[in-house]
Amino acid sequence: MSTSSSTVAVVGAGIAGLSAAIRLAASGKKVIVFEQNSYTGGKVTAFEKKGFRFDMGPSLFTLPYLVDELFEMAGKNPRDYFNYHTHDEVCRYFWEDGMKLTLYPSIDKNEAAVASVFGHSEGKKMRDYFERARIKYDLTAPFFLEKSLHRIGTFWTPAVIKVLKEIPRLGLFSTLHEENEKVFNSPKLVQLFNRYATYNGSSPYQTPGIMQMITHLEHNLGTHFPVGGMHEISQSLTRLAVELGVQFELNTKVEELTIENNEITGLKAEGKPWRVDQLVCNTDVKHAYQYLMPKGVKRPKKTLAQEPSSSALIFYWGLTAQFPELDLHNIIFSEDYKTEFDHIQMNGPFWEDPTVYIHISNRLEPADAPDGKDCWFVMVNTPYDQGQNWDDIVPLVREKVLERISRILGTSVEPLIEVEEVLRPKDIERRTSSIGGALYGTSSNDRLAAFLRHSNKSDSVKGLYFCGGSAHPGGGVPLCLLSGKIAAEWLIEEG
Ligand SMILES: Cc1cc2nc3c(=O)[nH]c(=O)nc-3n(C[C@H](O)[C@H](O)[C@H](O)COP(=O)(O)OP(=O)(O)OC[C@H]3O[C@@H](n4cnc5c(N)ncnc54)[C@H](O)[C@@H]3O)c2cc1C
């Protein structure tokens, strides 16, 4: 049996692996993190080119308390390590017919903004929408997101009884699109709130209506952005982990988990065996079962049959001009959202009318671009990689995206591009081993998805725990931080 000074391996230094490693080290465990890349953070990484700094992955940052609590738990002041801006706008929305709408982290401002564009009745509905999103979040987050769904104890609490009573009102049996259509008359507002399905890589026409609760985070709780960019989340957590004594083995790909008599005993990395007492796996769960598990380990068939989430094509453009009409987060909507998602779901040919997201970090972090210039992160949703010919697709998407942005801004953007890089789904897979380059692990295109995601603990191998986007409670920075927390706390409790 392990003691409190047992050695724990964490495979993968993604955001969930860092969250788990910090908690384990703070509890007195010896922790070794094995990471195949030369850097930590997984998808939360960045690059610089000719004076422009780009965050490569996430750009939306909510629930900063989940980062802060890791420092506080280690007895540190988070402000000595990690700081963030609180922004006064959520997102600027644009449609092809010239309509525009800006939303804020304020219900009063949102009601007024929507009323002025879509009429008073829609403004009032917007207020009710955010109030309902708050209720749904407060009711379900402590149960669905902050606890394991695979422990009987989670279900024997008064909070769960409250959830059960509210099930008919949670929107579990209808889609996000159907729920949004019940609320708003304007198809544009339905489209706007449908977009929240993409926060976990799903389709609004399939993901359950309960996903409305995601809107609560930015609009009611606040829109934030780290000082130094998103990359500072992974870098500040790495600094904390090092201070707590976590050992990082970078450039070290784990090739196999060592399992004896259904118990984890070590791993093999770069040909070298390591003995450990427990192991937290932060790799994509499908990757783990396909490549790391020895033969004979029981495979959770239903979990492994879950579809990966959608992926994305990202263009990083350093521009020689600035566009004040664009803010930190901007969306230019497609005219046929349903067909766009049908193409993504069915891996159809590239849809020529994609919705375009533009993130401009230098709005809050001026040092990210030289004076008078803008650094743009331009993203369109795509299917996960299934062998598509990205060499053909990328130029086509680039052309359509540039046409759309240029139409909205009334100026040709292509001649302004000074610096350019592209990230394709297969690059995301190569860099992180996420199957198909899925951004968020598995999709939530099914009302049972939350229950089918992999448990934070193996039910067949003693001492083996899981965290990350493809494990409970799912993808996105906040949920991955929670995933690392649930796995680490479970391990500490048992070992
Ligand atoms: C372009 C993009 C945009 C996104 N936008 C947002 C956003 O705005 N907001 C948001 O909250 N989320 C966003 N996400 C999702 C978010 O980034 C992820 O859900 C989250 O960062 C995943 O963290 P993770 O811990 O699951 O692991 P990952 O980041 O996938 O890291 C896993 C790590 O494990 C390592 N690894 C894998 N296999 C092995 C092995 N065999 N041996 C050693 N190491 C291994 C990998 O190298 C990697 O470092 C975005 C993602 C991308 C790519």
Q: Which atom from ligand 1 is nearest to the alpha carbon of 437?
A: 53
Q: Which atom from ligand 1 is nearest to the alpha carbon of 484?
A: 25
Q: Which atom from ligand 1 is nearest to the alpha carbon of 312?
A: 1
Residue list, ligand 1 pocket, CB within 6 Å: 11-17, 34-37, 42-44, 57-60, 253-254, 282-283, 287, 312, 314, 428, 432-434, 439-440, 468-469, 475-477, 480
Structural contact between residues 385 and 426, judged by C-beta atoms closer than 8 angstroms = yes
Burial of 205 from C-beta contacts in 10 A (0-12 / 13-18 / 19+): middle
pLDDT reported for residue 106: 96
Specify the residue with its C-alpha closest to ligand 1, atom 18: 476
For a ligand 1 pocket test, name from 47, 66, 253, 282 the mutation site with the most ligand atoms within 8 angstroms of its C-beta. 282
Distance CA 99, CA 257 (A): 54
Structural contact between residues 379 and 54, judged by C-beta atoms closer than 8 angstroms = no
Same domain, residue pair 127 and 195: yes
Q: What's the maximum distance between 2 C-alpha atoms anywhere in the chain?
A: 68
Same domain, residue pair 244 and 194: no
Average confidence (pLDDT) over 42-70: 98
pLDDT greater than 80 at residue 159: no
pLDDT reported for residue 1: 43
pLDDT greater than 70 at residue 190: yes
pLDDT tens figures, 203-236 = 999 999 999 999 999 999 999 999 999 999 999 9
Same domain, residue pair 263 and 292: yes
Same domain, residue pair 240 and 295: yes
* Residue 185 is assigned to a structural domain of this protein: yes
Distance CA 197, CA 189 (A): 14
Distance CA 458, CA 466 (A): 7
258 vs 444, higher pLDDT: 258
Structural contact between residues 195 and 218, judged by C-beta atoms closer than 8 angstroms = no
Same domain, residue pair 253 and 165: no
* Residue 454 is assigned to a structural domain of this protein: yes
pLDDT reported for residue 331: 98
Before 168, cis peptide (omega within 30)?
A: no
Ligand 1 center–CA 461 separation, angstroms: 24
Distance CA 112, CA 186 (A): 16
Structural contact between residues 339 and 351, judged by C-beta atoms closer than 8 angstroms = yes
Same domain, residue pair 486 and 452: yes
Average confidence (pLDDT) over 183-202: 96
* Domain end among 166, 187, 221: 221
Average confidence (pLDDT) over 234-242: 98
Same domain, residue pair 129 and 212: yes
| Domain count of the fold of the chain | 2
Reported confidence tier of residue 148, pLDDT bands at 50, 70, 90: confident
* Domain assignment of residue 271, given as a range: 7-42+61-77+228-307+443-494
Rounded percentage of the chain residues whose pLDDT exceeds 90:
87
Find the angle CA(408)-CA(413)-CA(414) to the nearest 5 degrees.
Answer: 140
Distance CA 357, CA 353 (A): 13
* Domain end among 221, 242, 266: 221
Ligand 1 center–CA 309 separation, angstroms: 12
pLDDT tens figures, 93-128 = 999 999 999 999 999 999 999 999 999 999 999 999
Reported confidence tier of residue 4, pLDDT bands at 50, 70, 90: low
Q: Which residues contact 142 (CB under 8 A, 6 or more apart)?
A: 159
pLDDT reported for residue 180: 97
Same domain, residue pair 236 and 273: yes
3-state secondary structure of 84: strand
Specify the residue with its C-alpha closest to ligand 1, atom 27: 14
Ligand 1 center–CA 272 separation, angstroms: 25
Same domain, residue pair 146 and 200: yes
Q: How far is CA 265 from the centre of its chain?
A: 31
DSSP letters spanning 17-46: HHHHHHHHHHTT-EEEEE-SSSSSBTTS-E
157 vs 125, higher pLDDT: 125
Distance CA 481, CA 465 (A): 15
As beta bridge partners, residue 317 has 376, 420
For a ligand 1 pocket test, name from 432, 443, 465, 483 the mutation site with the most ligand atoms within 8 angstroms of its C-beta. 432
3-state secondary structure of 402: helix
Lowest mean pLDDT among 244-253, 333-342, 419-428, 449-458: 449-458
Same domain, residue pair 216 and 232: no
pLDDT reported for residue 279: 98
Dihedral sign for Cα atoms in the order 247, 480, 378, 312: positive
pLDDT greater than 90 at residue 3: no
Distance CA 136, CA 126 (A): 15
Ligand 1 center–CA 14 separation, angstroms: 5
pLDDT reported for residue 459: 94
pLDDT tens figures, 24-45 = 999 999 999 999 999 999 999 9
* Residue 198 is assigned to a structural domain of this protein: yes
* Residue 177 is assigned to a structural domain of this protein: yes
* Residue 325 is assigned to a structural domain of this protein: no
pLDDT greater than 60 at residue 412: yes
pLDDT reported for residue 146: 85
pLDDT reported for residue 2: 43
Provide the token pair at 420. Answer: 């350019």
pLDDT reported for residue 122: 97
* Residue 471 is assigned to a structural domain of this protein: yes
* Residue 154 is assigned to a structural domain of this protein: yes
Structural contact between residues 461 and 471, judged by C-beta atoms closer than 8 angstroms = no
For a ligand 1 pocket test, name from 11, 43, 56, 309 the mutation site with the most ligand atoms within 8 angstroms of its C-beta. 43
DSSP letters spanning 404-449: HHHHHHTS--GGGEEEEEEE-HHHHHHHH--GGG-SSSB---STTH
Reported confidence tier of residue 5, pLDDT bands at 50, 70, 90: confident
- Cα–Cα nearest to 2, from 294, 265, 273: 265
136 vs 432, higher pLDDT: 432
3-state secondary structure of 274: strand
pLDDT tens figures, 428-480 = 999 999 999 999 999 888 877 878 899 999 999 999 999 999 999 999 999 99
pLDDT greater than 80 at residue 301: yes
Provide the token pair at 201. Answer: 């890589």
Rounded percentage of the chain residues whose pLDDT exceeds 70:
99
Same domain, residue pair 178 and 260: no
Ligand 1 center–CA 455 separation, angstroms: 18
* Domain end among 221, 252, 287: 221
Ligand 1 center–CA 42 separation, angstroms: 5
Ligand 1 center–CA 172 separation, angstroms: 28
Q: Number of helices (H) and strands (E), helices first, in the chain?
A: 17, 19
CATH number at residue 472: 3.50.50.60
H helices present in 275-350, as ranges: 285-287, 301-304, 337-346
Average confidence (pLDDT) over 348-358: 87
Distance CA 492, CA 53 (A): 39
Same domain, residue pair 270 and 192: no
Work out the mean pLDDT of the chain and round it to a whole number: 94
pLDDT greater than 90 at residue 147: no
* Residue 388 is assigned to a structural domain of this protein: no
Ligand 1 center–CA 310 separation, angstroms: 13
Specify the residue with its C-alpha closest to ligand 1, atom 5: 58
Kindly provide the residue ranges of all beta strands, DSSP E only, lying in 38-134, ordered along the sequence.
46-49, 52-55, 84-87, 91-94, 100-103
Label the pairing between strands 91-94 and 84-87: unpaired
